[in-house]
Structure 1
Amino acid sequence: MIKRLSAVAVVAISVFAAPAFAQSSASTTGSGSITVIRPLTITKTADLKFGTVVRPASGSGTAVVSAAGARSVTGGVVGLASGDTPAAAAFTVAGEGGQSVSVTIPASFSMANGSDTLTVTTSNSLTGSAASQVLSNALGSAGSLAFTVGGSVPVASTTTTGAYTGSFTVSAAYN
């Protein structure tokens, strides 16, 4: 009887002590999405022009073209009405409406006349940070951002006469 009771106990323990079978697999569903937008383009619509100026007889001054396109002169520099009409450079960024873009405009650039150079310090018409501009319109429509670039250039009594030219690169990227 003891053997039988022992056998029953072993069977009972085996039944109750058997591990529960864990689920061997699980699954869930994921999803994907994408928003496709227009590529950015940037177009120059006008160049920065300081016009024709007369260097000062002594000392130095500046020729300035504001981002609005108005020329002013200081320190004995004289602006003439002849030659190129002073103007700010103008650019248009185009892309997907409502998107944030970062515009990069150099702080300065050089203009050369042979081996002689003048350094232009730039200004611009962007409102707020150039790194967080927003294209017009809304997602699904074409958007744009127009802005201008002016500058200031020093002219000394010792500045070599002649035509000075140079270029600068303006760029834009989606944020």
Structure 2
Amino acid sequence: MNRIIFILFLLLSSQAFSQASASAKVTSRATIIDPIRIDKTLDLDFGNVISSYNPGSVILSPDGSRTAQGVQISTNFPGTVNPAEAVVIHGNNNYAITLPESFVLYNSQNPDQQLRVNNFTVLPEEGTISDIIKVGATLHLKANQASGFYTNSAGFNVTVSYN
């Protein structure tokens, strides 16, 4: 009987001393990438536009071409015409571009006179660690839009962020 109790004790004590935890060694790593950066090189300029008795618009494409609808654009005196341009430095990482829904330009002599800019379009010229992006948009004129220089010194944001 003592022998049975001793064997039971050995069996129970071996279970009591069995492994209750385990561990593994884990190493860790991190890769630091450069922050994304954008540097403006050109502002968005629609050039000279001739007002009309009707409302109209000028579409400035990212490639720099202009299309007039309901208004005229001056071919003899085009003024400064260029899409906005910026250099995006992104390493070799994917990114997204965010533009405003719309933007307002104000007549420098009469701030009550305004032009709305919307329908922004982007054309990236892709590189490996940096891209040149060109931004076009649509400029909307009211019927008999007052002549003058229209601008908005606050500008608008072109935001880039890693995906």
TM beyond 0.5? yes
1:52/1:81 contact within 8 Å kept: no
Q: In structure 2, what is the equivalent of residue 39 of structure 1?
A: 35
Distance in 2 between the 1:155 and 1:45 partners?
27
Distance in 2 between the 1:26 and 1:75 partners?
77
Q: In structure 2, what is the equivalent of residue 88 of structure 1?
A: 83
Distance in 1 between the 2:142 and 2:33 partners?
49
Distance in 1 between the 2:27 and 2:87 partners?
37
- Deviation by residue 1:119-175 (Cα, 9 ceiling, x = unmatched): 112222149xxxxxxx733xxxxx111111111112233322211112210011112
Letter in 1 for 2:105: M
Alpha carbons of 1:109 and 1:19: their partners in 2 closer, same or farther (altered >3 Å)? Answer: same
Provide the secondary structure at the position in 2 that maps to 1:72. Answer: strand
Share of identical aligned residues, percent?
26
Which of 11, 26, 42 is the matching residue for 1:30?
A: 26
Which of 139, 148, 163 is the matching residue for 1:153?
A: 139
Report the structure number with the largest CA radius of gyration.
1
Q: In structure 2, what is the equivalent of residue 48 of structure 1?
A: 44
- Deviation by residue 1:104-124 (Cα, 9 ceiling, x = unmatched): 122321111212221112222
Q: How does 1:100-119 map to 2 (within 5 A)?
A: 100-113=94-107, 114-119=111-116
2:56/2:140 contact within 8 Å kept: yes
Q: In structure 2, what is the equivalent of residue 136 of structure 1?
A: 127
Alpha carbons of 1:17 and 1:153: their partners in 2 closer, same or farther (altered >3 Å)? Answer: closer
Task: Structure 1: give runs of 5+ residues left out of the alignment.
Answer: 1-5, 128-134, 138-142
Provide the secondary structure at the position in 2 that maps to 1:125. Answer: strand
Which of 55, 58, 65 is the matching residue for 1:63?
A: 58
Distance in 2 between the 1:16 and 1:60 partners?
96
Distance in 1 between the 2:160 and 2:76 partners?
34
2:44/2:84 contact within 8 Å kept: yes
1:17 deviation in Å? 4.6
- Greater Cα offset, 101-110 or 75-84: 75-84
Structure 2 length normalisation: TM-score?
0.82
Task: Structure 2: give runs of 5+ residues left out of the alignment.
Answer: none
How many residues get paired? 156
